[in-house]
Chains A and B, each alone.
Chain A
Amino acid sequence: MGAANAGTILAQISADGGGAIADAVVYAIPASGPASASQATALMAQENQEFTPFVLPVQVGTNVEFPNRDSFRHHVYSFSAAKPFELKLFSGKERQVVTFDKEGIIALGCNIHDNMLAYIYAVPTPYFAKTGDDGKATIANLGAGAYTLKVWHPTKKPAAKKLS
């Protein structure tokens, strides 16, 4: 983990063996208490029978839109305790928004396509970032103060997709 400088955190996440870990969520919780709920929006698209992005960190309260960019239907669901939901989606026709108002990991699946898997990670802070393929992430615009820095990353990758 990188050093926390005033205003910016540069994090480098690597596995025990030394390899860089992508799609890890790094977030800093200010000691002053939780920030107010976000009004921001985010996207979790379905494209080529895959969720994109694989990991989507959001601040609690963020509205996430699930656009279907495929020509066929998806049935996005989550049984995760933070946000169970179910969206029967048709390509391009409907705009579906889900507000993630609870902190936690939300595993996303498609009832039609078993291989599809994605995670939405709702964090109680606006200061978060996701590592790239190089395992690096940067949290900017940090106010002065003490923070608790946390990291999470999914263990399971989506299965290879089966295309008919």
Chain B
Amino acid sequence: MFQKFQTKLVLLFALLFAAVQGVSYLSVQNTVRNNIFDQARDQLTRAYAVFEKNVEDTTTVLAEGSTILAKDFGFRQAVATNDRPTIMSAIDNLSTRIKADRVILVAPDNKIIGDTGTASDAAADGNIVTVGEANAVFQFPEMIAQADEEGRANSITVMDGQIYQTVVVPIGAPVTIASLVIGVEINTIYVATLAKKFTVPLDITFAKSPAEGEWIVGTSTLKPELAAGLGGALRTADTSATQVAKTLTLGGRDFVTLIASLPSPSSSAKIDAAIQYSLDASLIPFEPLFLTLLGLAGGTLLLTLIASFFIAGGVSKPIRVLDAAARRIQSGDYREKVNIDQKDEIGRLSQTFNQMMDGIAQREAKIEYQSLHDPSTELPNRLAFERRLNGAIAEAQKSNAALSVYLVQIGRFSEINNTLGHDTGEQLVAKIGDNLQRIIKQSDVVSRHSSSIFALLLPGAGSNQVNPIVERILDSFDEPLSVGGNAIDVTAWIGEACYPEHGITAKMLLQRADTAIFEAKKSSQHYALYNAQLDPYKPERLSMMGELRSGLDRGEFRLYYQPKIDIATEKITAAEALIRWIHPVRGFMPPDAFIPLAEQTGNIQKLTSWALDTAIAQVAAWKAKGIDIKVAINLSARDLSNRNLPHEIERVMAKHGATIDQLILEITESAVMEDPKQSMEVLSALNKMGAILSIDDYGTGYSSMSYLKSLPVQEIKIDKSFVMKLSSNKGDEILVRSTIDLGHNLGLKVTAEGVEDRAGLDILKTYGCETGQGYHISKPVPAADFEKFFLTSRWSPLPQSAAANA
């Protein structure tokens, strides 16, 4: 309810105004009351004097009248002679004359001789009551004594429950023979009469004032309900200071009160009088004034409310407008401007608001641009690309369209950065970005995906044909790129993944395109479309990796050995160890099914370690049996980047007591080319150790003769694809022959694998090829079979008798 500024302001005004009005009203009322109180006090002081005088006058009247009787000779004679009829008639006469309500004749021994009784008694029988009780005693002997001493005593007494103003005079004959007690009842007539003597309307109350506690109200001019409260309001403790005006509240009304202490006999209840001035009654004449004041206050308050409502509205309206604008800014809407046509602070504030909105909008746009763009190339960044890709996927999903994601990786980028500096690297990337943008259509997206990778999003071209754009992109890298005065040769690979066949999310498509780059690097075309079969990250392949590791532990792997013969002597000189996996479920697994996978996932090292250990142990065992041959073990690219490999081989040899000359290490060209620098280091170390290094699968890669020359190898092994049809294919024959010649010219020995028949073997012999291997001699066999073959076959180097004996 008080949320609104306008309401608050109106309320504040109203409260302030009401407070001021209230204070002034109360102050006027207070002043009036104070004046009246002062007046009342003066009036009461005057009234008190009147009261005292009245009591005294009454006493005087009573005393004088009774003294006259007490001195009357006849009366005294009547008393002295106990002439009762005379006594009673005299008393009756006296009470009538001085308007006494009660006359009592008391003997010197305080026994009551005669008593008119209370006024009501007298009214009842119209005559004097003669006290018949023998033992009736006057209650206040001290008054008798005082009267005897002083000729008169006067007090306010309570007799038979009635308050009396009482006078006692002695009857001397001449010694005191009796005392006359004369009382005027302090009844409602008494107080009313008394009250009439005051110049202002006052209330008077006679009450018992006991030593402690509340007063007991006797006679009062107050209304009974107010009089009843007076007893409680008056406590002796509070009224000890008499003649001091104080304010008492009776029935919600204030009375200025003065206490008059009256003489009482010590044996009687103490009687005091309260004279009161009603403040409220005195305020009655002022009521019209107060009503006028209240009316004025109410009227002006209403006017204030109306005025403040409009003023507050004027102030709060622009604030509401600004509030709404602030909410729009909060929700990111900066378009609608604040329109407050005012020349004051609020007008300026609204101008500032508008400028602020513009500023925020600009900064936000800038931040958004920066968050979605690569600063070097000004191309969209990975985040932006993924958004666009997601959007495109959503579109394609609706229209059943296809999409292609290409990742273009720049080769040697970190090398370029290291050599030419980061700035040059970034300029190069910017240039490549420009080129890419030029190549693709305006509607296609190119983004910088990571430092050396660009991502492209193109409409699907269908996975069975390569988009010509791929060609154009790769062509753009043919010429060196000129950056900062440097002509830089840049290689690039492109991996492609298609929606929906390779993935239906941006993340998956990008990952698959990345995997395709991996394949692209192996390809001479520098381009590959994602192939699920080759994807090492495909779930089933990943599970096979796990099985491969556990298979090693469980001994599911075997080494098979294929004999190598010296072609000249046709005797076995060595054996190539080939790995076999006898999978418990899948059965016999060919090396092609798990070797590339192991290479990609890093498990090849484990496999190599196992093969080294097993093969070296075997060759050592054979030598002990007199089977003195070399063993050839295949190393992968990963093995060549393992600096620790030479030490490991040394350790294994030492372990099994083998010598380095028993070992041939076969490596492929592509394995060396993957990390030539590192491979060279490892190969040099192995060469130093004395191991024979052989280039495997020679002829399948991009073998560069000059490069081959720089490798510390002793042997090349011609790929079986050239050898197998040697006897029937003329082309192969020339190729094999020239290769053998070339190897020999470089000082290398040559091994031919895939020797399938006798004719092939004979051709190789003619060409001077040193070593042969193939099914014509033997397929790869388990160690035990190999042992038997070595001892018994025609290729055995042992003398025939020894072989026959074995």
Contacts and interface: CB of A to CB of B under 8 A. Distances in A.
Interface of A: 75, 77, 79-80, 84, 107-111, 114, 116-117, 156, 158
B50 interface: no
A116 B175 CA distance: 10
A77 B79 CA distance: 14
A114 B81 contact: no
Given A79-B177, A111-B73, A84 B172 contact: no
Nearest to B151: A159
A156 B71 contact: no
Contact of A114 (B71, B77, B79, B80): B71
B172 A79 contact: no
B76 interface: yes
18 contacts: A77-B73, A79-B79, A79-B80, A79-B81, A79-B177, A80-B80, A107-B173, A107-B175, A109-B172, A109-B174, A109-B175, A111-B73, A114-B71, A114-B172, A116-B174, A117-B175, A156-B175, A156-B176
Given A109-B172, A117-B174, A79 B76 contact: yes
Nearest to A115: B174
Contacts of B177: 79
Contacts of A107: 173-175
A80 B76 CA distance: 12
B714 to A, nearest CB: 166
A107 B177 CA distance: 11
Contact of A110 (B81, B174, B175, B176): B174
Interface string B171-183: 0111111000000
A159 to B, nearest CB: 8
Contact of B80 (A75, A84, A110, A117): A84
Nearest to A117: B174
A32 B8 CA distance: 122
Interface in B184-201: none
B173 A109 contact: yes
Contacts of A79: 76-77, 79-81, 173, 177
A110 B172 CA distance: 10
A114 B71 CA distance: 8
A76 to B, nearest CB: 10
Contacts of A117: 174-175
A75 to B, nearest CB: 8
A156 B361 CA distance: 125
Given A77-B73, A114-B71, A108 B80 contact: no
Interface in B623-649: none
B64 to A, nearest CB: 15
A80 B79 CA distance: 11
Nearest to B173: A79
The 4 A-B pairs at the shortest CB distance, nearest first, are namely A79-B80, A109-B174, A79-B173, A117-B174
Nearest to A154: B175
Nearest to B77: A79
Given A77-B77, A77-B173, 13 more contacts: A79-B76, A79-B77, A79-B79, A79-B80, A84-B81, A107-B173, A107-B174, A108-B174, A109-B172, A109-B175, A117-B175, A156-B176, A158-B174
Contacts of A116: 174
Interface string B748-771: 000000000000000000000000
Contacts of B174: 107-110, 114, 116-117, 158
Interface hub of A75, A79, A84 (most chain B Cβ within 10 A): A79
Contacts of B73: 75, 77, 111
Contacts of A84: 80-81
Interface hub of B71, B79, B174 (most chain A Cβ within 10 A): B174
A154 to B, nearest CB: 8
A79 B71 CA distance: 13
Contacts of A158: 174
B629 to A, nearest CB: 167
A108 B77 CA distance: 13
A24 to B, nearest CB: 17
A113 B176 CA distance: 15
Contacts of B172: 109, 114
B236 to A, nearest CB: 39
Contacts of A156: 175-176
Contacts of A109: 172-175
B775 to A, nearest CB: 172
A164 to B, nearest CB: 16
Contacts of A80: 80
Contacts of B80: 79-80, 84
A79 B172 CA distance: 10
A56 B126 CA distance: 48
A109 B175 CA distance: 8
A87 to B, nearest CB: 13
Contacts of A108: 174
A118 to B, nearest CB: 9
A153 B108 CA distance: 18
Nearest to A78: B173
A114 B177 CA distance: 14
A153 B176 CA distance: 16
A109 B79 CA distance: 15
Interface in B656-685: none
Interface string B58-102: 000000000000010100110111000000000000000000000
Contacts of A111: 73
A105 B73 CA distance: 20
B285 to A, nearest CB: 56
Contacts of A75: 73
Contacts of B176: 156
Contacts of B173: 77, 79, 107, 109
A84 B174 CA distance: 12
Nearest to A119: B175
Nearest to A79: B80
B5 to A, nearest CB: 96
Contacts of A114: 71, 172, 174
Contacts of B81: 79, 84
Interface string B546-570: 0000000000000000000000000
A80 B77 CA distance: 10
Nearest to B72: A111
